[in-house]
Structure 1
């Protein structure tokens, strides 16, 4: 998730205070400097290695440079700095160095909400069957899914570095997922299968969601993201389904073309729809649903 007020802080100085405070935590140096709560060295190392692998993979195609840090904090530690739903990964690209937040405990709003383990009996049978075929339990897959969102956050970083920082909120999320999905599809196909299968897990009746159109997400992005994680999760899963459809035929070329179409521009929602439909007709039917 990316947002101009990701940390819900009031000033630039408060964002810098967070970065200063992180210096008091244990850290791993390297390409992605990683700060973590006590006891989290192994988790920090594993996430750091994955994030750096994705960055290096894409830099073969998009040779951009950016300074990226990551924090992996326990809920009590994170609450000292910001008030966002715990367990929801996010990135701040409005302040430097750019900063990804990942949960220390694989718990919180996603594992405990959108993918609630307590509601496992409501998981569609097709998803359970696929997980059984893969030899992966629902609990393991749910916790992995949270970590995979870290790749989505790296996707936001690449978008910002490539001049795509002014995309409509919905399309910014779409493109971040495109980077994420493209990486795991090619490097970790098992993870890509789990990611896609989880698009079919929506525990709430979508009729209860306040917002369901792309325009509504653009106009109420912060509200949806921070106040109704289930609604936000539904949007993200619709994007993931379409990402899969586009990736099957376009692969990484889609990213190259999006850069040509949108780099350093600030298109309206209508302009974005028009450009995408003109270049990729399969978007037309999809837009009609949202």
Structure 2
């Protein structure tokens, strides 16, 4: 399995428009963060989790030329807004794109991208096959994917586990039943928004505490705000086995 972090930023991305803080002015490429998304390659199977507003740029930068499915964690715009940019894959692969999400996520997508689902479809619009999922495991081309229910303040969000890899973004609470589903994970991705308390995201300290509780061999933090601080400074202060992810980071997992 190869995992590529397409984006590791929060809803506004980093740098933030109009901001002159040290992070937004940083020349370190690791402080430049597109909205959160990840690409997973398992053999010939190519998946992305979430298609945010930067999706086109992310796909081009990563050199992804084949895509078999899109999986959505939740319905917020910073995780869905780039769905239209699956069109080149439709044209190249000559098939509809399977899009997996909970019913409320797919309903939101159908409202925001009404032209995709219209009875009178405009030529060239994305070709999508929506597939409802719930909290139960599902498969894509023989690969089992286990949803991990978490809470984003009052909004239910799904993380996902594939083998020994677990990806969780936009969460500030992981129920005990979900923690049991994560047990044995060797590589964990978890959101860590900023230093200060936040209503719907783990802070850095909360994310570190949760990472230690889960006990994965390696944990990477994502969905990072400019308020967290400079990548180089924060990353050096993290405990062993925990690191900040950055756009373009690739992990090769057994």
- TM-score, normalising length: structure 1: 0.26
Q: Give the number of the structure whose residues are more often strand, by fraction.
A: 2
Q: Give the number of the structure whose residues are more often helix, by fraction.
A: 1
- TM-score, normalising length: structure 2: 0.29
